[in-house]
Structure 1
Amino acid sequence: MKFKMSEKSLFAVLLRSPWWISFVLVAVIALAAGALLPKEYAGVGMLGGFPFFVIGCMAMWRQRNLPSAAELEKGLSMLSSMGWRDFSALLETAFTRQGYTVKHLNGAADMQLEKKGVLTVVSAKRWKAAALGVESLRELVAARDALEARNCVCITLGQVSAKANEYAEQNRITLISDADLVMLTAETIKIL
């Protein structure tokens, strides 16, 4: 059985927040326990901050290679100014660096990636669209099923609607946008 944490739980929110927020919570809990509890219980009360320390360490580890706001803005600007041919070549180079064999497709899926016998279809042609809706994701799932691929990826710079996000979760679609897209292409465009 696979455990899935609620996206709205305190720990999930802290994992997505800057790492230092968890450490501030540890300090607040320790100070409050030291000030409000009797001396014989203060140490035990301070240990109540330990889960937040662990979450802070996990968040710090996850965020260690994220681009700064300026680097993110520069990368997104560069990506949005590209034409399809250059963007497609950039993605092909990025995926090849990760060990994938890339085959270009026509239709709902733009690329087929293969690595260790596992097929993944990628939709990226609508990367500049202002919003990503469910219909293009349905087409991608149909392409995945037709090609008997295990995974599918949709790349976008636009806003992802709540329905599209929900549909992606339900249908095993990986959405790559914003910071993830900049990280995927960073070595190739040399912005970081």
Structure 2
Amino acid sequence: MGRRKDSSIEMVSKLPWQAGIVLGVAGYAAMRYGLGWCMTTFGGPTGQALGISLAAGVYAPIAWLLLTACWLAALISFLDSRRRQRMLASQTGLRSLSAMDWREFEMLVGEAFRRQGYKVREIGLGGADGGVDLILHKDGATTLVQCKQWRTKLVDVRVVREMYGLLMHHRADAVKIVAIGHYTDDAQRFVHGKPIELVSGLALLTMVRECQVAARR
């Protein structure tokens, strides 16, 4: 099953909220004033007639609609950012990590990596993920991430093999598997010499606490 395409508002809402504000103002100015000026200046007789219509405010409602849509997306981005900050700050141990649902867990992991300087693309939150929940970009390298919020079950070698296959298929540079629990001995042996990192619950908790300390500075 393919992933659905994001709407324009959803795409902008994934940007920092400040970018949505700037895009809204720029889009409004371009639609309300810039397009008419370009038509009048460079469009010849037909373009000049169209430019006059634009200057008269014929497309002003569209400009306002564009501004409103971008600012709505900025508001969504701002609220989502605050939610992630609160989620990260509220973690106290493995028990609180286990208490989240899988969507929140993926968001938390993504936010922790984002605080480490990665550009994070969330895949699993959109539905069918093919085993990949997050895609990380940093220093020209691409890392695939799978999140396993299994409270008691060990992550076995089958999961690790699948992620290794996805690494080869997507020609990524590395793989990280993040789990609250631990990994079987076979899984740990399989990753030896491969660009695969098995992140246990304790390692994730350490990463979260480092983010919490950095946020308080």
TM interval, shorter chain, is 0.5 to 0.7
Quote the residue 2:205 is aligned against: 182
The 5 Å alignment of 1:2-151 reads 74-105=92-123, 106-128=129-151, 130-151=153-174
Determine helix, strand or coil for the equivalent of 1:131: coil
**Residues 89-133 of structure 1, C-alpha deviation per residue, up to 9 Å, x if partnerless?**
111111111111111231112111001210000110444451110
Residues 93 and 188 of structure 1 are in contact (CA less than 8 Å); yes or no, is this contact kept in structure 2? no
Letter in 1 for 2:202: A
Letter in 2 for 1:183: T
Letter in 2 for 1:96: R
- Structure showing greater radius of gyration is 2
Determine helix, strand or coil for the equivalent of 2:131: coil
- Distance in 2 separating the partners of 1:126 and 1:134: 16
Q: Paired residues, what number?
A: 119
Letter in 1 for 2:95: S
Residues 148 and 180 of structure 2 are in contact (CA less than 8 Å); yes or no, is this contact kept in structure 1? no
Q: Which runs of 4+ in 1 moved over 3 A?
A: 125-129, 187-190
**Residues 60-80 of structure 1, C-alpha deviation per residue, up to 9 Å, x if partnerless?**
xxxxxxxxxxxxx94111101
Seq. identity, %: 30
**Residues 28-75 of structure 1, C-alpha deviation per residue, up to 9 Å, x if partnerless?**
xxxxxxxxxxxxxxxxxxxxxxxxxxxxxxxxxxxxxxxxxxxxx941
> Alpha carbons of 1:142 and 1:167: their partners in 2 closer, same or farther (altered >3 Å)?
same
Determine helix, strand or coil for the equivalent of 2:191: helix
> Alpha carbons of 1:115 and 1:127: their partners in 2 closer, same or farther (altered >3 Å)?
farther
TM-score w.r.t. the length of structure 2 is 0.50
Unaligned runs of 5+ in 1: 1-72
